[in-house]
Amino acid sequence: MKKIAFFSLIFLFSLTMAYAAESHETLTLPSAGCSALRIDSGAGDLKVQGKEGLERIEASAILQVRGISESELQQFKKEHVILKLEKIGSKAVLTAKIDEKFSLEKLFGSREAYIDLTVSLPRGMDLDVEDGSGDTTIRSLDGRLDLEDGSGDVTLDEIAGTVKIEDGSGDLFLANLKNSVEIEDGSGDIDLKDAGGDVFIEDGSGEIRVSRIRGSVKIDDGSGDIEIDGVDMDVNIEEAGSGDLEILNVKGKVKK
């Protein structure tokens, strides 16, 4: 009897999660008078693309909620979803989050919600991102980038300004960064190719691969292999932790 009751619960849970409601929304804001865009996002994937000649900020949001029907979606959005794009001072601010009350509810229920974002902005704007969970991809920016990420993989490509990353967990794939790079990482691999300035990495665990750096490299690592190949200035390994260390093709001094 206990087995029948258990499998009945599993069956009912599966039925609940088998259906989902989805909505699409587009937000726009003129970029005149905005020097930077701040994105505050929760669960869901985030894609950001800088575009030459664009005079507005565009955000496409896809909300998916598992465990509710389409008829319940509007009420869910009213009670739990924060989605807005507004100008505050000299910054544009995009907020896309599921409120904390629902985050607590889903621990004890069968519903799950997230918002996938696709954002376009003028290429010259600065960008500040605070992201909860999900993969993040950012490409083609001439301004600086400050990224605070909770979990999920991060991909950056063609960023001309300074880059600062504070990451909890997930792999980092970084390429064609024209300026200095500062990374504070909890766990996950780091793969950095082509940086035009100095690189500083403070890492908890995971492999680190760094190549083709035109500035200096400084690394403080907890655990995981470190591979460095091609640095125009000095390399300073403050702490190598556990794991293999390989350093090749450094034009400056090497301290380890």
Cα torsion 141, 145, 149, 154: sign: positive
* Among 22, 27, 28, residue whose Cα is nearest residue 44: 22
- What is the reported pLDDT for 7? 42
- What is the reported pLDDT for 100? 65
- What is the reported pLDDT for 110? 55
Lay out the sheet containing 112-122: strands in order across: 20-30, 56-66, 112-122, 46-51, 136-141, 154-159, 172-177, 190-195, 208-213, 226-231, 245-250
- What is the reported pLDDT for 109? 52
Cα torsion 7, 8, 13, 19: sign: positive
- What is the reported pLDDT for 99? 82
**Which amino acid makes up residue 10?**
I
Tens of pLDDT along the chain (256 residues) come to 444 444 444 444 444 445 689 999 999 999 999 999 999 999 999 999 999 999 999 999 999 998 888 888 999 899 899 999 999 999 999 999 998 666 544 544 556 899 999 999 999 999 999 999 999 999 999 999 999 999 999 999 999 999 999 999 999 999 999 999 999 999 999 999 999 999 999 999 999 999 999 999 999 999 999 999 999 999 999 999 899 999 999 999 999 8
- Cα 229 from Cα 214, distance rounded (Å): 11
- What is the reported pLDDT for 241? 86
Say what the pTM is: 0.89
- Cα 211 from Cα 3, distance rounded (Å): 56
- Cα 130 from Cα 167, distance rounded (Å): 10
Q: What is the DSSP letter of 2?
A: H
Q: 69 by DSSP, 3-state: which?
A: coil
- Cα 1 from Cα 193, distance rounded (Å): 59
- What is the reported pLDDT for 108? 44
